[in-house]
Homo-oligomer: A and B are copies of this chain.
């Protein structure tokens, strides 16, 4: 049996939204789901117990960072990433491709792979489909992402086509490198930039490999929301219904709603943890900047009725504002716990609405009350 399987619970009748369960060697989790990001073998400031308690069933960790530090040998020696970081839920690892391509002048790409300078000590490193798979095998993640290029926006058709074709050749090499892996499932990533013909060609090529899951890459990279939604809706229909679908790098409520509405099951983003460290709280009506003077004398919680550690225990806006201004790390922790819980709860309510057949009403209701800032 495949390491990763998807079970459909209910599909919405008027949109593409669907509720399901994904089964992995480290447990099953309900979908749609948001994956907190633990870049360096830790979700910044949060313990594995706390992640479990707020309802996370799967987290994402970054191959690029762990490849450079502490290195794959050490994590392998520790018994894999789950044991190293004490997380017994599921783990998805990215391939390192995104970070390496982001290095700009510091990297050189060939058909073989990418040579680059470590951002930590300047040493020369090499990452390729085979190396990325080797690292992800050492990490022992449940879901392994293919090594690809996330095409920047804007990119002309010639560039996007050449990049997508190389990504596909790399995917075949990833598949071959993972042939002997047990207990891990390789997800292919559909690229193609903002071009329908390239998306169509690549979706056909990727799905022909019959992998345990598929991601849509290269969206939410700076393009207008309408264009994102157009390419997303076009691409997702090209993916099989019996496999998980993952939209990479998306974590704001409006984009999550859009993704779910079109049939996406999995999401990840540093957004909730990063904005927490910048003193921002996510709520059902929009974001709160905790440093603002309006919270000075506010002895109520971030959001009434919220079940997160922070709100449930009565930590007030006034106290959190004080901690943020005083640069106390407990403030970042309280906000991180709140934001991660908020997104888990947001996904749970979307899922409940799909199952109850009320997803469209949920969507409208949320959009009516949520203020983007």
Instruction: State whether the Cβ of A45 lies closer than 8 Å to any Cβ in chain B.
Output: yes
> Which residues from B are CB-within-8-Å of A70?
296, 318, 321-322, 325
Are B42 and A316 neighbours in the complex by a CB distance under 8 Å? no
Which chain B positions have C-beta within 8 A of A86? 313-315, 319
- CB neighbours of A313 from chain B (8 A): 86
Select from chain B the residue with minimum beta-carbon distance to A78.
Answer: B299
1/0 contact string of A268-298 vs chain B (CB within 8 Å): 0000000000000000000000000000110
A41 interfacial by beta-carbon distance below 8 Å: yes
A118 to chain B, nearest CB (A): 13
Central interface residue in A77, A315, A328, by most chain B CB within 10 Å: A328
Q: Does A44 contact B (CB under 8 A)?
A: yes
Stretch at the interface among A126-134, A329-337, A357-365: A329-337
Within A33-87, which residues are at the interface with B (CB < 8 Å)?
Answer: 40-47, 65, 69-70, 74, 77-78, 84-86
Could you tell me the dominant secondary structure of chain A's interface residues?
Answer: loop
Given known A-B contacts A319-B84, A322-B69, A328 and B74 have beta carbons under 8 A apart = no
Contact B330 A69 (CB under 8 A): no
State whether B74 touches A323 (Cβ < 8 A).
no
A interface residues, how many (CB within 8 angstroms): 37
Q: Is A208 an interface residue (CB 8 A)?
A: no
Does A179 have its Cβ within 8 Å of any Cβ on chain B? no
A326 on the B face (CB < 8 A) = yes
Residue in chain B with minimal CB distance to A70 = B322
A47 surroundings in chain B (CB, below 8 A): 330, 333
Residues A78 and B296 in contact, CB atoms below 8 Å apart: no
Bound form: Cα–Cα A77–B77 in Å: 54
User: In the complex, A322→B41 CA distance in Å?
Assistant: 9
List 5 tightest A-B contacts by C-beta distance, closest first: A70-B322, A42-B330, A40-B326, A45-B329, A42-B328
What are 16 A-B contacts defined by CB distance under 8 Å? A42-B328, A42-B330, A45-B329, A45-B330, A46-B330, A69-B322, A70-B296, A70-B321, A74-B296, A74-B297, A74-B322, A77-B299, A78-B299, A84-B319, A84-B322, A85-B319
Chain A: residues with CB nearer than 8 A to chain B? Answer: 40-47, 65, 69-70, 74, 77-78, 84-86, 296-297, 299, 313-316, 318-319, 321-323, 325-326, 328-333
Please name 7 further chain A to chain B contacts, defined as beta carbons within 8 Å, in addition to the given A41-B322, A42-B323, A43-B330, sorted by A numbering.
A40-B322, A40-B323, A44-B328, A44-B329, A45-B329, A70-B322, A74-B318
